Amino acid sequence: MNQIVVLFDMDDTLCDLSGALARDMNLIKSPSETGFAPPLPGQKSPPYLKARKIMVFNQPNWWLNLECYEPGWDILYEVQKLGYEFQIASKPSPDCHDSARQKLEWVETYLGSVVTHLTGDKSRIRADFMVDDWIPYGSKWLDNNPNGRLIIPYHVWNKDFQHDRAIHCRGPEDLEAVRAVLTTPKLSE
């Protein structure tokens, strides 16, 4: 029997990127500005906010110091309880050339020696499940993995996505449904 493989995204799945970005962007906003909120899919940030984001991303060890995102870790614990193999699939930031190194160090610090894919196209990685918050990546992965299933840690930017092979996880209240998906026999070829 082949080992079941679950791919985990890092940013806003295992790491609280949006929380750290909002915290640091709010530290450098002017008093007349409203609080920072990351743009939703399809929205563009004004150039001055993009420049600030690049400045935040390039702080020494910013990526390495990201805190854990609890809903993603709740899913990871379920995967570990089932004895499934998990791997990391993450896209390094084009705005910080050191993000790839820091992401690898973050994985080693929090997860130990785990297969880690740093790639611009996660859809090419074969697995039984993918856990990812970003719908453009998750949707493309579903297209290229016709037997795979997507587990989506809930965020405002992905709340409306629906797919017959996808499930949202808002937190502990959804873990029973996630466990049911994880233990459902593999979809037929």
What does the angle CA 143 – CA 119 – CA 148 come to, to the nearest 5 degrees? 30
161 to 36, 65, 150: CA distances (angstroms): 24, 30, 11
The larger pLDDT score, comparing residue 6 to residue 185, is at 6
Closest CA to 7 of 106, 111, 122, 107: 122
Give residue-wise pLDDT tens across range 1-10.
578 999 999 9
- pLDDT tens digits, 56-101: 999 999 999 999 999 999 999 999 999 999 999 999 999 999 999 9
Q: How far apart are CA 19 and CA 35, in angstroms?
A: 12
Question: Can you give the pLDDT at residue 184?
Answer: 85
pLDDT at 37: 77
Q: What is the pLDDT of residue 188?
A: 53
**Are 63 and 103 contacting, i.e. CB atoms less than 8 angstroms apart?**
yes
pLDDT tens digits, one per residue of 17-62: 999 999 999 999 888 888 887 777 678 888 998 999 999 999 999 9
As a whole number of angstroms, the distance between CA 59 and CA 54 comes to 9
Q: CA torsion angle for 38, 77, 132, 49 (degrees, to 10)?
A: 20
Model pTM score = 0.92
DSSP string for residues in the chain: -PPPEEEE--BTTTB-HHHHHHHHHHHTS-TTSPPP-PPPTT----HHHHHHHHHHHTSTTTTTTPPB-HHHHHHHHHHHHTT-EEEEEEPPPTT-TTHHHHHHHHHHHHH-S--EEE-S-GGGS--SEEE-S-HHHHHHHHHH-TT-EEEEE--TTTTT---TTEEEE-SGGGHHHHHHHHTSPPPP-
